Chains A and B, each alone.
Chain A
Amino acid sequence: MGLYVNLQKKVNGFSLDIEWEIGHEPAVLFGFSGAGKSMTLQLIAGLIKPDSGFVRLDDTLYFDSLSKTDLPPQKRLFGYVFQDLALFPHMTVWQNILYGAPLLSGKEKQDRARDLIRSFKLAGLEKRYPSEISGGQKQRVAFARALIRRPKMLLLDEPFSALDRPLRLEMREFLKEVKESFNIPAILVTHDFDEAAAVSDRIIIYEHGKITQTGSPEQVKTAPANTYVSHLVSS
């Protein structure tokens, strides 16, 4: 049980060829920019179509080039938090969160949104627009919007990279709370080793579209597979 990913994709001279597996714990995709981490998330979410491979979570195949399975992103039920958060600028905080649950009835949607607003400390901001709230508040709105329809997995594409350090530490704690209360697999893309180590026991290291090493933060720190990894974990 867990997420099994095997993906190949060539685009504009860049070639991605990866295979890994995680259980129901958070995992981190770690590497320098342009290594293929964000692309992997987009392939898993169905926003880009792989050339070949498969994506399987528990018993469900989401993509499989052999059986020609390809669920559209709308049907994958994965919560995606984008690097720039992608909050809708023309919707209020409340509308942004409700937009995350198109299939729920009005009452259930509003009950869930109210719960999320309370637990994510967003009370009082419901009528504000994204441009009128702080960076940390925007993060929490993006998480609330991604979580309201109870996704089967969370895909987090460097959501904390734009924040300053104290706020990043706060968001790590927040992420732990999310992990405990929702208990779903989460994949975090980052190029900050401290962040990777704080969030997960399992680090998957990307190098030019390939997997160089996987292991716990201690393992990759004490026994890096090559100079790229040792450079990466010490930077």
Chain B
Amino acid sequence: MESVLFSVRLSLQVACLSTLLIVVTGIPLAYLLARKEFKGREVLDMLFTLPLVLPPTVTGYYLIIVFGRNGLLGGFVYQWTGWTIMFTWYAAVLASYVVALPLMIKTARAAIESVDKNLINASYTLGHSEINTALKVILPLAKRGIIAGAVLAFARSMGEFGATLMLAGNLPGKTETMPIAIYSLSGSGEWNKAHGLVMLMTLISGLFLYIANRYSKRTF
């Protein structure tokens, strides 16, 4: 029972941190993609969206190449500090972050692009800088899409399995998140515990979709 509770707590912890990172980095990225014209914009969008359509194992594979102990970045870190992100709960956060980020970028970009251009122009002619206009006009008006994106990203983080398994492994009491625990429990025939986790997972995901829908109904 203790290991089940651990996996619930770990999944919430991983989803909270990855959603926080997604909000902090995803909103500026979505803004950049929606409002700035630069070379390679659509390529960048495609790169960030790829994890949405790639099998999570492929995403996980790429992450190992970059962040693994012998990886492009990970090798460097390991040489200098002797530490690797692999098989820690931070790896689960990294996997969830990369897999769930596209949900935030897609919804927030669409919401930012749908803000009336005249309102933005009005803000400029009233003397407000671009950053001020973004904070006081564009983001508040795109709020519904941004919140929906964050909620979807949270739910996706909670449910992350494939990339997490490749990066963080399946270490009971260390990196065993809810979806991985369900996989282990059903593998070893512990159906009662698996049932409980499946119900809880469905309940949490359903609740989050309900919240996302309620937010997207609010209008000015």
Contacts and interface: CB of A to CB of B under 8 A. Distances in A.
Contacts of B125: 45, 47, 73-74, 76, 78-80, 146
A131 B124 contact: no
Interface of A: 42, 45-47, 72-80, 82, 84, 86, 88-90, 99-103, 129, 131, 145-146, 149
B126 A102 contact: yes
Contacts of B188: none
B116 interface: yes
A82 B118 contact: yes
B121 A82 contact: yes
A99 B220 contact: no
A198 B19 CA distance: 58
Nearest to B119: A86
Contacts of A100: 126-127
B126 A47 contact: no
Contacts of B119: 86, 88
Nearest to B122: A86
Nearest to A129: B220
A102 B132 contact: yes
A99 B126 contact: yes
Give the one of A77, A86, A103, A129 with max B CB within 10 A.
A86
A73 B124 contact: yes
Contacts of A72: 124
A99 B136 contact: yes
Contacts of A149: 126-127
B216 interface: no
B141 to A, nearest CB: 6
Interface string B106-118: 0000000000101
Contacts of A78: 125
B128 interface: yes
Interface in B138-184: 140-141
Contact of B124 (A47, A89, A90, A101): A47
B137 interface: yes
Contacts of A77: 127
